[in-house]
Amino acid sequence: MKATGVIQAGGRSTRMGGRPQALIELGGCRIIERVLAALTAVVDDVLIVTNTPELYAFLKLPMVADVYPDRGSLGGIYSGLKAAPGEAAFTVACDMPFLNPDVVRLVVARASQGDIVIPRVGHQLETMHAAYAKACLPHIEERLLAGQLKIVEFFERVLVVEIAEADVARFRDPRVVFMNVNTPDELERARGLATRLG
């Protein structure tokens, strides 16, 4: 199955004082460049969902705006999946500096087994590190039009394949793999981790 990597870069970065966390340097390159490097090792092609394309033009990637603006992460998932040339979109947040190619591959390799393939860590489904098939589009759109923006609420309408925490942990600590950099404190923690991980 052909999978497109979709980087979600539509947030307003309010917790970072409006500074886009994707463009913050960490370990010698921007966080979004770290995300891109992990994705390109696995997927067929990559696009970015953003409403500020001028910020990411330097990456020379296809970019799409939100089809339904101001609909949060669910709107971003829909926009990326709709635009993806592949049969599925591996969707990831732009601020996950320790994205691991082996964990991405674990998800993408199972993309043909369900409409959503998603890791679970404890009680948390990693909705911004998951593969979504085109079959999800009508169910997501229905939620968006109703203003129901919680991502997992449409899952009961599709076939969901979960990846166990132990499977992720074979490659790297899940708390590291799925870490987001949303706040100055998280940035400091990420810098420490980047130094230790090399």
pLDDT in tens, the chain (198 residues): 899 999 999 766 555 666 789 999 998 999 999 999 999 999 989 999 999 999 999 999 999 999 999 999 999 999 999 999 989 999 999 999 999 999 999 999 999 999 999 999 999 999 999 999 999 999 999 999 999 999 999 999 999 999 999 999 999 999 999 999 988 899 999 999 998 887
pLDDT of the residue at 19: 73
Closest to 74 in 3D by CA, of 180, 151, 152: 151
pTM attached to this predicted model: 0.94
* Predicted pLDDT at 14: 55
Nearest to 143 by CA among 123, 127, 121: 127
C-alpha angle 164/9/182, rounded to 5°? Answer: 70
pLDDT digits (tens, 9 = 90+) for 13-52: 555 666 789 999 998 999 999 999 999 999 989 999 999 9
Domain ranges of the chain: 3-197
CATH architecture, range 3-197: Alpha-Beta Complex (3.90)
175's tokens: 């708390």
